Structures are given as structure tokens and as C-alpha cells.
Structure 1
Amino acid sequence: MGKFVPFMMIAVSAALWGIIAIFVRNLANIGFTPMEIVTLRVVSAVVLLGLIGILKYKEQLKIRFSDTRYFIGTGVFSIVLFNWCYFTSINQMSLSFAVILLYTAPAFVVVLSFFFLKEKLDRWKIISVLGTLTGCVLIAGVGVFETTTISLAGIITGLGAGFGYALYTIFGKFALKKYSPFTVTFYTFLVASIALLPITDMWKKASILVSAEVLFYGIGLGLFPTVLAYLLYTKGLEKMDSSKAAIIATVEPVVATLLSVFLYNEGFGLWQFIGSLLILFSVILVNLPILSFRKNNREKATIL
């Protein structure tokens, strides 16, 4: 597998995450709370993955009990923690500022990868992280600080969302040393489902869970921005530095912004356009083959 294929897998997964608003907004209009939507997402995902596993990947459903710690990491400390912190931060401050704090995730990944995965921390990664953070600020809106009171609780939970988002990449990298991308994705959502179902009282909405509209958007949410997105991301992560993968994944807010413009007729100004270009430039910068070429030439020159 060449370098381009993992890059495309991560980029496509980020694009799929970017369309999540289509499903979330419709489920919210039906009457589901944010955490109920997260529960629908993980449960529908684990059902779909379970069916795929039974039909095609039976051997990949087997894990050692001692390895469940990896999936507690990806499922509880990442999926559950990140969603809880994110929705809490939204209630504490504006959505724009919550989004900015969520996308501190690449910075967390770069630092954690340096300490725990021994990945090199070079200037290109640092420049790319700064570029993506700046791009997210511009996309969210430069006037964000004027629109809301910024609380300490909101900042802590917002940073917690970014940290939880980052943990999937870190725990996932460890899990991939022993298991396939399918196994990692399935057990991530199985553990997340086990953690969420007891605390969301989903049975109280049993009457509408079986309606055609809820099934359509619920299965769509579980399939496209969840099963397919996480399978592609995890597969791409298998062949790529975690820090690079996290930076590429910031394509998500660009896609989400474009979706809001073309589907929901929301505003898209000059700053959003510059922010989108800055993120895309940062993603390209951290993956430019020419950088490796220059590095190899310097090493050859040193030897000579």
C-alpha cells in the first residue's frame, strides 16, 4: 500500500464525518437529545459491524480479554468522553468556540504521539498543527469571542473534547499492533454502546425508535459517518503516523462548512474561505513527498 492510499482513506473518513449534520439535525428535529443521538450512532454502528463480522470476519471477532483495555480507551475515553465533553461545552459557550476547542485534537495527538508512540516531532508537523488550528478559528468565525461569555467550565470541557477526540488515534494505534482495523472499530463501538445505553434511558422512546424516519436517519448515521468513516480512518491509521492522520482529519470542518453553505444556505464569508484553504494547505504540507525527497538528499549529502 503506497502513501497515497492511506492519505485518501483518512481524507474520505474526515469527509464522511463532515456530513454528520444531515443525520444529527433530522434526529434532533424528531426529538432526540444530543447524547441520545450519540447512543443511536454507536448502537446502530455496532449492530451493522456485528452483522458484517458474522457474515465475513468471524475470526476477527476474537480478542483476548486482557486487550479490552485498548477498546475501553477508544470506546469510553475517546468516543464517550469526547461526545460528553463536546455537548457540555456547547451548553457553556457558543458552538463556534466549542468547535475551535474540539480541533485542538491534532495538537494533542502530535504531543501524545511524541511521548507514547515515539513519533518524530518535526517543524513541518508543528507548522501544520498551527495552520489547522488557525484555519478552524477562521472557519468558526473571527468574532467568536464577542458572541458569548467564555466560562472556565466551558474551556475545560472543550479541551476535554479535543483530548478525547485525540485519544482514539493514540489507543487505536496501540490496538492496531495486535488487531485488524475491523476488530478495533467493532469493539470500540461495542464498548461505547455498553457504556452509553444504561445512562440515556433510550427505552423511554421505544415507540418512535421503530418509525421509518428514525430507522432511516439512525441507520444512515451508523453507516456513513460512523462505520465507513471509522473503518477507513482506522485502516489509514494502520499505515500512517498518528500525528499526520490527525492533521488530515481536519478536512472535516471544511466539508461541514461547505455542506452548510450548499445544503442549509448558511453564510460563507472571506474568512471561512481563507480558513478552509489554510487547513487544506496544512494537510498537503504535512504529506508532501517533496519533503521526504529533500530529507533524503540532505542525508546523502551528509554521507558524501
Structure 2
Amino acid sequence: MSNLSLKGSILIILAGVLWGTTGTSQGLAPVGVSSSTVGSMRLIIAGVFFTTLLILTKDYTKKNLRKEDLFFLIVGTLSVVFYQLSFFYGVRISGVAVGTLIGIGSSPMWGGLLGYLFLGEKPAKIWYLSTFLAILGLIFLSFIDISSLHINFTGVLLMLLAGFTYVVYSLCAKKLMTKFHANFVMAVYFMGGGILMMPVLFMNDMSWLLSLRGSILMIHLGIFATFLAYILFSRGLMLVPVSKATTLSLSEPLTASILGITVLGERVTMMNIIGIFLIFTSLLLLSRKS
């Protein structure tokens, strides 16, 4: 593995760590806050910061946008929006444990498949082992009593769509960043996504934003867990294949589980510990030097 590939791996793992703080943050949010509202505000805040960064650094494109470029910008922006919506409603229907397992667990599969089909990125042999260990780790991490499990077909489809759209916007971003600066691509994605998600804000109570806890929540989620996380992710994505990036970003549920145990006081079982160990091993294998 080259130093650039190692750097890319570390950047994506760090992005996943920041994403992994979102669940704990929402667990400390004011009572009655809608997840869809929080998701919309995240996009808007990140979009404003990316647009400001774009103006300050003057990284906006000076190249002509071709039809192909516009296609990837539109599809990427819509994928950001559909990810938010499908993940939120999928978790509501299928439950947090099953929903997260299917949504996040399916992303390496989609990443390997779409990366190979559209970018010609053939996954390295170690990717198959790492992805297997990571998905096995997710199963242990969100260990479910199969006998009491009720599978909702609509919820499963929504969570598969969430995993798919996450990979689609990663794929579109990687394609665009071979021609345009990452700041330009992210500004379009998040500002565009934020504008499209604005109707959600008018459908819900927003008074909680005026509270100290609500303001701190959105500052963290918008700036650190979205804006900064996607700066790291976009830079890392330029250095590693999409299949590898989607597996490395499983540092998100790893972080979420550790924070849930240490900060929110969630009960930890031996199954959870095995799951954390398997995902951590997967990330080490995939980001190791040769």
C-alpha cells in the first residue's frame, strides 16, 4: 500500500468516527426533536459552510460543465437527499438494530459492485476478507434475538436503498473530483440537498433550536459530524477505491457503539464486544501497509 493510499484510509476512518458521534448527539438532544428535522438542518448547515469555504478558497470550477458532469452533480445531490429520507424512514419502520445493520452493512456490497461496474475498480483480495469480517462484526454488534424478530419488507427495502444511495453519491463524487475540486462538489451536494430538504423544516416544530442544548446539537452535527467529516471523506475518497472507502467508513457504527456504551450507558454484551473486535480487525486489515 502506498503512503497516499494509507493517508486516504486514515482520512475515511476519521470521517467515520465523526459520523459515529451523530447517534450519541441525538440521544442527548431535546425531547421530541424529529430525526428528519435534524437531518435537514445538518445538510443546510454543512451546505452553507461548504459554500462559504468554496467562495473563500475560490475553488469553484473554471471549467465548462458538460452534460455528463451535470448528470453526476444532480444524481449525487438527489442521492444525498434520498439517503437521509430512506435511512430515517427505514429505521422508523424496521427498528434501529435491524435498520442500521441492513443500511450500513449493505454499503460495502454496493460499493464493491458499483465501483467495479462504473469505475472499473476491481476490489483487492483483502477487501473480501475485511468486508466479511466487518459485516459479521455488525451482526454481533447489533445482536438480535432472531426468534422475536419481525421483518418488515418495506423497511428492509428502504434500508437497502439507504446503503445504495450512500454509495451512489460517493461514486458520483469520486467521478467528479477527477475534474473538479472537492470543495465545489461538496458545496453543490450539500447546498442543493439542504434546499431540497427545506420543506421538512416547515412541517415540524423548530422552537428547540433556540435552546442551548438544541443549538449545541446542531453546531456539532452540522459543522463537525457533517462539514468536517465530509471534508475528510472527500479527500480520502480521492486516494482509495469506492469499495474500500465504504468498508473503511464502518468505523461509524464502531464509534457509535463505543460511545453508546461509554457515554449513554448502554448495556454491553459479549456479542457486542466480539462485534467491536471484528470491525476493528477489518479496518486494520484494510488500512494496513503492505
Map residues 1-304 of structure 1 onto 2, 5 A cutoff: 2-27=4-29, 29-54=30-55, 56-60=56-60, 64=65, 66=67, 67-77=69-79, 79-102=80-103, 103-143=105-145, 145-198=146-199, 200-202=200-202, 205=205, 207-290=207-290
Cα deviation digits, residues 26-61 of structure 1 (max 9, x gap)? 44x34331211111100111122222233x222426
Once residues 206 and 155 of structure 1 are traced to their aligned partners in structure 2, the CA distance between those partners, rounded to angstroms, is 30
What is the count of residue pairs matched by the alignment?
285
- TM-score normalised by structure 1 residue count: 0.86
Taking every aligned residue pair, what percent have the same amino acid on both sides? 23
Provide structure 1 residue ranges, at least 5 long, that are not aligned to the other structure: 291-304
Q: Decide whether aligned partners of structure 1 residues 83 and 203 sit closer, same or farther in structure 2, where only a CA change above 3 A counts.
A: closer
Once residues 212 and 69 of structure 1 are traced to their aligned partners in structure 2, the CA distance between those partners, rounded to angstroms, is 41
Q: Decide whether aligned partners of structure 1 residues 92 and 211 sit closer, same or farther in structure 2, where only a CA change above 3 A counts.
A: closer
Q: Is the 8 A contact 1:23 1:218 kept in 2?
A: no
Once residues 83 and 59 of structure 2 are traced to their aligned partners in structure 1, the CA distance between those partners, rounded to angstroms, is 30
1:158 maps to a residue whose letter is M
Cα deviation digits, residues 202-231 of structure 1 (max 9, x gap)? 376455444444332212211111000011
Q: Secondary structure at the match of 2:178?
A: coil
1:172 maps to a residue whose letter is A
- For the aligned residue pairs, the C-alpha RMSD in angstroms reads 2.1
Once residues 251 and 228 of structure 1 are traced to their aligned partners in structure 2, the CA distance between those partners, rounded to angstroms, is 16
Q: Decide whether aligned partners of structure 1 residues 206 and 85 sit closer, same or farther in structure 2, where only a CA change above 3 A counts.
A: closer
Provide structure 2 residue ranges, at least 5 long, that are not aligned to the other structure: none
Once residues 220 and 235 of structure 2 are traced to their aligned partners in structure 1, the CA distance between those partners, rounded to angstroms, is 21
1:301 is matched with none
- TM-score normalised by structure 2 residue count: 0.90
Structure 1 range deviating more: 250-259 or 206-215: 206-215
Q: Tell me which of the two structures has the higher relative contact order, counting C-alpha pairs closer than 8 angstroms and 6 or more residues apart.
A: 2
